Amino acid sequence: MRSNPRSRRISPEDSPDLVPRLLAGDETLFASLVQRWQAGLVRVAQAITGNVATAEEVVQETWASVLRSLRTFEGRSSFRTWVHRVCAHQALARSRQEQRAPVPDEPVVDPDRFDEQGHWREPPLRWPEETPEALAARREVMECIERAVSMLTLRQRVILTLRDVQGFSAEDACEILGVSAVHQRVLLHRARSRVRSECERFYREAA
């Protein structure tokens, strides 16, 4: 019997091959680290920036930065410490220069649904059906979707039909409609977003 019950459980952060596994793209491990350390990192960042929303952004930035610079981790401190140091540096940099990333015009979601920080103020409504099968099994929802599709612009409707209804690849859809890859994506994005938002309206009214 072990004297220290805590040693029975090996947490992912103690794994000696932690960094190699992350470098190899172990997303499950990465997600478990995010879940484990997120709250603590936010607290650190909040202490520096004095603002929880900014702190959350800093922590997101931290994770991206950690993954980018994994190779530079030399193991002088524990990995957890290193991650927190990255976070603190990011927070310090942020508190010096409060800057905003540009938001593309003509947003697909009403800007009023976000707060000043760009986070959800009015988050997406929860739908009773959120899988393709469940949605497709509800006649009223599918009627709503069909109506929404009919209200799209011509090109949006064509791309949506090619991609989602017919199952064409992006390349084929570009070829078929004679649009660039970027334009195809914008059309698809607007089309899907519009249909999603009509579904949301349906569920809101049905509630």
Partner 1 sequence: MLRCMQFVELVTALEERAVGPRLRLELQVHRVVCRHCRRYLRQMRAVSGALQEAASGDSPRLRSAAT
Q: Catalog residues that contact partner 1 under the rule CB under 8 A.
A: 27, 31, 34-35, 38, 56-61, 63-64, 67-68, 94, 101, 103-104, 107-109, 111, 114, 117-120, 123-124, 126-127, 129-139, 141-142, 145, 149, 160, 163-167, 170, 181, 185, 188-189, 192-193, 195-196, 199-200
Kindly state the smallest distance separating residue 149's Cβ from partner 1, in Å.
8
Residue closer to partner 1 by CB (options 77, 166) is 166
Q: 74-96: b or e for each residue (b if 16 or more CB lie within 10 Å)?
A: eeeeebbebbbebbbebbeebee
- Distance of alpha carbon 17 from alpha carbon 3, whole angstroms: 26
Burial (0-12, 13-18, 19+ Cβ within 10 Å), 2: exposed
Kindly state the smallest distance separating residue 193's Cβ from partner 1, in Å.
7
Kindly state the smallest distance separating residue 129's Cβ from partner 1, in Å.
7
List all residues 6 or more positions away from 77 whose beta carbon is below 8 Å from its beta carbon: 85
Residue closer to partner 1 by CB (options 48, 141) is 141
Residue closer to partner 1 by CB (options 16, 167) is 167
Both tokens of residue 130? Answer: 């959120």
Going through 130-184 in order, the beta strands assigned E by DSSP cover none
For 119, half-sphere exposure in the C-beta direction (CA atoms, 13 angstrom radius) is: 7
Kindly state the smallest distance separating residue 26's Cβ from partner 1, in Å.
13
Residue closer to partner 1 by CB (options 75, 124) is 124
Query: Nearest to residue 199, comparing CAs of 153, 122, 145?
Result: 145
Residue closer to partner 1 by CB (options 18, 41) is 41
Kindly state the smallest distance separating residue 54's Cβ from partner 1, in Å.
9
